[in-house]
Amino acid sequence: MALLVRAACLTNFSEVARASGLDPVRMLVQAGLSPAVEREPDLMIPVDRVGQLLQDAVTASGNESFGLCMAESRMLSNLGAVGMLIRDQASLRDSLDVLMRYQALLNGALSLMIESHDDVLVLREAVKAGRPLQPTRQRIELAIGVMLRVLRQFLGASWQPRRVCFEHPAPRDLRVHHRMFGYGIEFNADFNGMVCAKTDLDARNPSADPAMARYAQQLLDASTHLQQPGLLDDVRRTTLLLLPSGRCSVEQIAEHLGMGSRTVQRGLAEQGLSFSSMLNDIRVELATRHVMESDRPLTDVALLLGFAAPSAFSRWYHKQFGCSAKESRSARATGLH
């Protein structure tokens, strides 16, 4: 089944396209999307087509920060009823809880997790590449840019996270990134996301309106076409987020989901899957991304895929792809892939 995302994810696409010297209507049609899609924010559209649109825009314009440019002027209103519910929570932490609860309704390919470490919080985001496999740089930068905009609507326009992390390499031109995030940016990082102070998320929301929050909740509850993700989606999202940390057993996945490991295994079996087969599929997707789309050291790639040793990664890679990761990169460099 195709992964879907609200058409509101394309907010500001036309403006950024025109500023980059592109014809937005032609670009939308080329990606298999109706030019009217920007006027239907609640329409659910295929993630793959959005990914293709953004990648085509980068290729045609040379603007490596295209997705981030789209995020620069995002508002909570672009999240629809979920944005209304987020806006009127008592604290920023409550607002992020709402965002995580309804994330799958906004973007079926995006996962969000908050981790606590001493006096800081880590907001991790991961995107599923989809089929066919596509570069994910634009979608992840758009998602993290939107997250920053959400946080600033509570913490003020000048607020900056302690650090912003991207798994992908730095672009040639960093002006948009510095304008958006400041200078605390780490590329080729172990995860995509932001690091901020715990105290930031404890900030109270003085404009919270409990009555409006109840109204927004009723809107979401009454929307029969918005359904919570199933177990398989939950397991996949959690696996994507936990894999780089090396904490990705079925027991740890189950703990994060608040259920027993047997319940997870039984739920996957009912859909003809096992945890090991699903984990392997995710590793194949990530290996394709990190080996073929980046020059990240292969020892780092092994860790990102949850392997304890590079030798284990090498054996697994050869079994999956019929060659070594080094040979795959050599083939890419010579244009054979």
The predicted-structure confidence for 89-98, as pLDDT tens digits, reads as follows: 999 989 998 9
Q: Where is average pLDDT lowest: 56-60, 124-128, 151-155, 329-333?
A: 329-333
Residue with tokens 């792809």: 321
The whole-angstrom separation of Cα 229 and Cα 250 is 19
In-domain check, residue 220: no
Shared-domain flag, residues 44 and 82: yes
Which of residues 201, 222, 256 is at a domain's end? 201
69 and 116 both lie in a single domain = yes
Least-confidence region, from 42-56, 217-231, 239-253, 312-326: 217-231
Whether the per-residue pLDDT at 52 is higher than 50: the answer is: yes
How many angstroms separate the Cα of 175 from the Cα of each of 11, 68, 292? 21, 11, 26
Who wins on pLDDT, 288 or 148? 148
Q: Are 53 and 28 in contact (CB under 8 A)?
A: yes
For the ranges 118-127, 236-245, 268-277, the lowest mean pLDDT is seen at 236-245
Residues 117 and 174 in one domain: yes
Statement to judge: residues 86 and 136 lie in one domain: yes
Residue 82 domain-assigned (yes or no): yes
Tokens of 313: 């990664």
* Domain contains 219: no
Q: Are residues 160 and 44 in the same domain?
A: yes
**Percentage of the residues of the chain whose pLDDT score is greater than 90:** 43
- How many structural domains does the chain have? 2
Dig out the tokens for 160 from the structure: 């900056």
pLDDT above 50 (res 226): no
Q: Are residues 179 and 93 in the same domain?
A: yes
Q: Which domain holds residue 270?
A: 231-333
pLDDT score recorded for residue 241: 76
pTM: 0.74
Report how far residue 104's alpha carbon sits from residue 289's, in angstroms, rounded to the nearest whole number. Answer: 22
DSSP 253-318: HHHHHTS-HHHHHHHHHTTT--HHHHHHHHHHHHHHHHHHS----HHHHHHHTT-SSHHHHHHHHH
Do the domain assignments include residue 161? yes
Residue 206 counted as domain residue: no
Asked whether residue 318 is domain-assigned, the answer is: yes
Q: How many helices (H) and strands (E) does the chain have?
A: 17, 7
Give the single-character DSSP code of 170.
Answer: P
Strands (DSSP E) contained in 148-287 are 163-165, 185-186, 192-197
Per-residue pLDDT tens over the stretch 243-280: 877 778 888 888 877 788 888 888 888 888 889 998 99
Q: Please write the tens of the pLDDT for every residue from 108-117.
A: 888 888 888 8
Asked whether residue 147 falls in the same domain as residue 196, the answer is: yes
User: Residue 56: what pLDDT?
Assistant: 95
Domain finish residue from 201, 216, 249: 201
Same domain, 69 and 163: yes
134 and 201 in contact (C-beta within 8 Å)? no
